[in-house]
């Protein structure tokens, strides 16, 4: 498919465990974004990558959150020592540098018990 894909679609974990969420952007898109959306809330910006530039991490809520993007393509968002308040849908989006809009993936629903 040509769209943004994310895996897993659902993740249930126990408090204190680490989780990794994966995003495959649209091929050729240089910008990649991670957002968090809690139930009934808007999108909370977490981090974005633009080409080979240093990522903008200003939205990461704590040092338990980190993300990397390998080879300018796939990105992994890692949450260490998960807490119940981390439960949310994590959305990934990509954009071409000259693109007019972001294309969103289907999201990963994370539930921390």
Closest Cα to residue 5, out of 110, 113, 107? 107
Does the protein bind another protein through residue 45 (CB under 8 A)? yes
Closest separation in Å from C-beta 93 to another protein: 7
What is the rounded CA–CA span in Å between residue 89 and residue 111? 9
Radius of gyration of the chain (CA): 13
Does the protein bind another protein through residue 42 (CB under 8 A)? yes
CA 82, chain centre distance (Å): 15
Does the protein bind another protein through residue 102 (CB under 8 A)? yes
Does the protein bind another protein through residue 25 (CB under 8 A)? no
Residues 55 and 33: beta-carbon distance below 8 Å: no
Q: How many chain residues touch another protein (CB under 8 A)?
A: 23
Which residues have a Cβ under 8 Å from the Cβ of 85 and sit 6 or more positions away? 112
Structure token pair of residue 3: 């769209």
Does the protein bind another protein through residue 98 (CB under 8 A)? yes
Does the protein bind another protein through residue 77 (CB under 8 A)? no
Does the protein bind another protein through residue 72 (CB under 8 A)? no
Minimum CB distance to another protein smaller for 13 or for 104:
104
Closest separation in Å from C-beta 2 to another protein: 14
């Amino acid at each position: 498919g040509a769209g943004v894909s994310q895996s897993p679609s659902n993740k249930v974990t126990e408090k204190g465990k680490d989780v990794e969420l994966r995003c495959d952007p649209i091929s050729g898109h240089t910008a990649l974004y991670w957002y968090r959306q809690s139930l009934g809330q808007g999108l909370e910006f977490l981090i974005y990558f633009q080409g080979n530039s240093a990522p903008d991490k200003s939205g990461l809520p704590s040092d338990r959150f980190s993300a990397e993007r390998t080879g300018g393509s796939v990105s992994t968002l890692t949450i260490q020592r998960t807490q119940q308040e981390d439960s949310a849908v994590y959305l990934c989006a990509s954009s071409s540098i000259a693109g007019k809009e972001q294309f969103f993936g289907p999201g990963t629903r994370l539930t921390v018990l």
